[in-house]
């Protein structure tokens, strides 16, 4: 491809950014603006005009991105082989490459090992035990995260121990020994000739900052620097880049402050906002034309992000079609929300002939996926959990399910192996392997050997540990014969100590695992409650019945990996992706924005950027939804619409389940922070729900926040009622007597259902 040809493919701003080869350059690249193309063409243009490939350092955030960019660059430059001379890759890959060459300058051999996260945590765990620190306080994940944060902020063990603010925070949290753990950990890594991933940043900075000759070598070598996704860099990454760019000052950063969403990983938006402070001579190019989305979607994104005060001024626009209005689904419950989303996907596939992989369901937390998975399965719509795993494949969920499976079928060897020593009870892998070998030679099940463990040749202590496990499982089995699936599962989660262990882990990961287990228990409770209420259903609400049903939901053989599938993913994992149809769900206060993020306006602004990222993933169809009641932690809780909904003009919304004027009720939540989530919001949502209850279309009716079950002895034909899961309905008929009374109710959304009144919770409206 000739130089003229590839430059002609760019719009005027893109071309100007590519041709500005010298000096400091900031390319502010809005969503869908052709950022990757500009970065690729800029590198190719440097090679074609002013630079040798080995003089270019291009830093990306994924190895996949680096590989794809190299392949595309090869099609633009005269000699494709020159791409092999580029220094292009992730920060960690490039810095590891430099350290392999220069490691001896900082006391490491060139063949040093690189520890992954599990290696690092294992060593930290050993140190905690050696120091005899309380493991309930000094959790491995917590300590590991603090050490990681220190390294990303360029704090060595010595600097950490002398940093009054950091040490004060540790002392306040009862973690005053972290400095000692960090010091010993660093010594052990040096002794083992190993670096962890964070060391690849910290050690590179130390190498360059303390060795003038090495710094000069790489400053001279890298005449041109390019950094992608600059808004996601942390302090250590920026400090290294700044050192390398000091001599030539030919540094080009590409990013979008409005898409800075990784503060929890140590990224700081200040790197891009303050870039001009270090490079006052910089030239800025704003890529504001969006080639991805419709005008309606772009306008919604602009309106929402405008509420942030801490940003680079820009106005994204598009010449694409106007497009359809954004749908806003107002649903009565999280179950109804999932059902309606699945129904809409089903309808859109038929109406527009979209393949499954044109659809994405985006949510704030992983625990939200379960209901959408189930709803899609019931519609026989293939799906894939992207950037994560299926809800029922998550470790903490599988652990609980293994206990439940073993209760119902003691011969389930895989379930037994999974939980015989979890939580830890002194039955290691070696013991389990010996028990399994005995089962093989005796031609019996592993469970039978466990039941007769006292007849084996194991040590006395081991026999006691195994037999205690056996007695516990027998107790669980006995209870399961007398109580329903939910009570059994809750009893198991408590008695095994699993629930308490997860609850005690206050790291981000620990909280997520605890929420997933609570979501599982909530799903089992839903199963039991609905079985009790629906007179036409099999009233078997036992654990065996539940496992039979859920086994159909977790059948991994239902869809092939290469089958186009609906994507389910957190918004963080959706960054960089795009889909024809996007559903952003769970738009409720304390969920999105998250409760933990509502501590300051700064954190709210990051949540708003996250919403901006979600909205701008959509090409043609965007659907937003919230549920006014959500099952959280085993109980149904009222929800308040997200403040972000109040930042969207009514003219861009197609509201399903409420009148257009309803959206005004969201607006006053716009500027709320953690200290203001009370009466004003409650009044607004109450007014919103009143409007819904008067909706003439009766499509989706939201139950009031003051839902109170009525005395159903007074229920008669013709009355209107509210059900927390099924919404509003009219009583068509009542038959039976006493505790056998059954009501036939026509619900607005879900149609006819026969409800056993003995187990029902209905609110009589009229």
Catalytic residue list contains 36 = yes
Q: Cα–Cα distances in Å, from 555 out to 210, 232, 390, 550, 704?
A: 57, 38, 11, 9, 38
Contact by Cβ (8 Å): 698, 715:
no
Question: How many angstroms separate the Cα of 616 from the Cα of each of 205, 297, 298, 359, 369?
Answer: 36, 7, 7, 14, 21
Whether 199 is catalytic is: no
Q: What is the DSSP letter of 325?
A: P
Distances (CA, A) of 611 to 154, 362, 382, 570, 625: 31, 10, 26, 11, 13
Catalytic option among 196, 229, 256, 607: 229
Stated as kind and residue range, the H or E segment containing 360 is strand 359-363
Residue 417 sits at the vertex; the CA angle it makes with 416 and 422, to the nearest 5 degrees, is 90
Paired with 28 in beta bridges are 255, 286
Cβ-based burial of 291 (10 A; exposed 0-12, middle 13-18, buried ≥19): middle
- Cα gap 142→590, rounded to integer Å: 24
Mind spelling out the 3-state secondary structure of 207-226? HHHHCHHHHHHHHHHCCEEE
Q: Confirm whether 321 is a catalytic residue.
A: no
Paired tokens of 328 = 């806003």
Q: Is 85 helix (H, G, I), strand (E, B) or coil?
A: helix
Q: What are phi and psi of 507, to 5 degrees?
A: -70, 165
Q: Which of 198, 199, 228, 484 is catalytic?
A: 228
Nearest to 657 by CA among 716, 614, 607, 697: 697
Residue 287 backbone dihedrals phi, psi, to 5 degrees:
-90, 95
User: Which listed residue (223, 617, 725, 761) is catalytic?
Assistant: 617
Nearest-angstrom CA–CA distance, 300 and 621:
12
125/511 Cα distance (integer angstroms): 20
Active site residue 229: yes
Catalytic residue among 3, 20, 21, 36: 36
At what angle are helices 117-130 and 140-152 packed, to 10 degrees? Answer: 120
Separation between Cα atoms, residue 218 and residue 165, nearest integer Å: 34
CA-based radius of gyration for the chain? 29
Catalytic, out of 55, 204, 237, 259: 259
Exposed e or buried b per residue across 380-401, where buried means at least 16 C-beta atoms within 10 angstroms of its C-beta: ebebbbbeeebbbebebbbbbb
Contacts of 464 (CB under 8 A, 6+ apart): none
Catalytic annotation, residues: 35-36, 228-229, 259, 617
């Amino acid at each position: 491809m000739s130089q003229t040809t590839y430059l002609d493919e760019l719009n005027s701003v893109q071309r100007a950014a590519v041709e500005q080869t010298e000096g400091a350059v900031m390319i502010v690249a809005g969503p869908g603006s052709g950022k990757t193309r500009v970065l690729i063409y800029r590198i190719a243009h440097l090679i074609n005009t002013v630079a040798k490939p080995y003089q270019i350092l291009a830093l990306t955030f994924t190895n996949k991105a680096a590989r794809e960019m190299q392949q595309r660059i090869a099609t633009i430059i005269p000699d494709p082989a020159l791409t092999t001379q580029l220094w292009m890759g992730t920060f960690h890959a490039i810095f590891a490459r430099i350290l392999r060459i220069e490691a001896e300058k900082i006391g490491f051999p060139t063949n040093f090992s690189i520890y992954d996260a599990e290696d690092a945590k294992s060593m930290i765990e050993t140190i905690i035990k050696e120091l005899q620190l309380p493991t309930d306080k000094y959790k491995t994940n917590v300590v590991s995260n603090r050490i990681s944060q220190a390294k990303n902020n360029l704090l060595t063990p010595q600097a950490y121990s002398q940093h009054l603010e950091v040490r004060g925070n540790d002392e306040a949290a009862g973690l005053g020994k972290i400095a000692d753990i960090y010091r010993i950990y660093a010594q052990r890594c040096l002794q083992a000739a190993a670096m962890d991933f964070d060391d690849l940043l910290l050690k590179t900075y130390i190498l360059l900052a303390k060795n003038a000759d090495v710094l000069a070598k790489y400053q001279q070598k890298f005449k041109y620097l390019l950094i992608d996704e600059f808004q996601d860099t942390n302090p250590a990454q920026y400090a290294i880049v700044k050192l390398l760019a000091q001599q030539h000052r030919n540094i080009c950063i590409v990013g979008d402050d409005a898409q800075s969403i990784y503060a929890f990983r140590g990224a700081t938006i200040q790197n891009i906002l303050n870039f001009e402070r270090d490079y006052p001579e910089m030239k800025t190019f704003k890529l504001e034309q969006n080639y991805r989305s419709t005008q309606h979607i772009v306008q919604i994104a602009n309106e929402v992000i405008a509420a942030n005060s801490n940003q680079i001024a820009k106005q994204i626009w598009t010449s694409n079609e106007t497009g359809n209005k954004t749908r806003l689904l107002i649903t009565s419950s999280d179950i109804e929300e999932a059902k309606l989303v699945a129904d809409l996907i089903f309808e859109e596939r038929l109406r527009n002939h979209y393949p499954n992989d044109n659809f994405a369901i985006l949510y704030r937390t992983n625990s939200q996926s379960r209901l959408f998975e189930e709803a899609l399965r019931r519609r026989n719509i293939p799906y894939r959990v992207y950037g994560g795993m299926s809800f029922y494949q998550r470790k903490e969920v599988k652990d609980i399910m293994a206990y439940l499976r073993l209760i119902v079928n003691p011969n389930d060897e895989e379930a037994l192996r999974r939980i015989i020593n979890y939580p830890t009870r002194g039955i290691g892998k070696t013991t389990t392997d010996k028990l399994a070998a005995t089962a093989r030679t005796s031609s019996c099940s592993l469970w039978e050997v466990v039941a007769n463990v006292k007849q084996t040749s194991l040590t006395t202590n081991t026999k006691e540990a195994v037999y205690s496990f056996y007695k516990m499982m027998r107790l669980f089995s006995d209870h399961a014969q007398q109580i329903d699936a939910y009570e059994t599962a809750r009893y198991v989660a408590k008695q095994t100590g699993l629930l308490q262990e997860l609850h005690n882990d206050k790291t981000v990961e620990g909280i997520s695992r605890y929420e997933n287990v609570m979501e599982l228990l909530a799903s089992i409770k839903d199963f039991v409650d609905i079985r009790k209420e629906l007179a036409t259903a099999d009233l078997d609400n036992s654990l065996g019945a539940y496992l039979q049903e859920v086994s159909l939901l977790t059948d991994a053989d239902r869809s092939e990996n290469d089958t186009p599938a609906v994507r389910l993913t957190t918004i963080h994992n959706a960054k960089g992706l795009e889909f024809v149809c996007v559903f952003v769900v769970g738009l409720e206060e304390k969920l999105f924005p998250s409760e933990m993020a509502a501590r300051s306006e700064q954190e709210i602004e990051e949540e708003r950027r996250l919403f901006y990222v979600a909205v701008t993933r959509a090409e043609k169809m965007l659907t937003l939804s919230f549920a006014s009641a959500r099952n959280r932690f085993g109980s149904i809780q009222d929800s308040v619409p997200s403040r972000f909904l109040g930042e969207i003009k009514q003219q861009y919304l197609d509201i399903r389940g409420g009148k257009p004027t309803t959206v005004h009720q969201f607006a006053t939540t716009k500027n709320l922070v953690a200290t203001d989530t009370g009466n004003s919001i409650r009044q607004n949502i109450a007014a919103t729900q009143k409007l819904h209850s008067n909706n003439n279309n009766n499509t989706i009716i939201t139950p009031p926040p003051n839902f109170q079950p009525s005395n159903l002895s007074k229920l008669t034909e013709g009355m209107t009622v509210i059900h927390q899961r099924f919404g509003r309905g009219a009583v068509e008929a009542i038959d039976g007597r006493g505790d056998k009374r059954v009501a036939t109710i026509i619900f607005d959304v879900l149609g006819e259902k026969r409800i056993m009144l003995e187990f029902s919770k209905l609110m009589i409206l009229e």
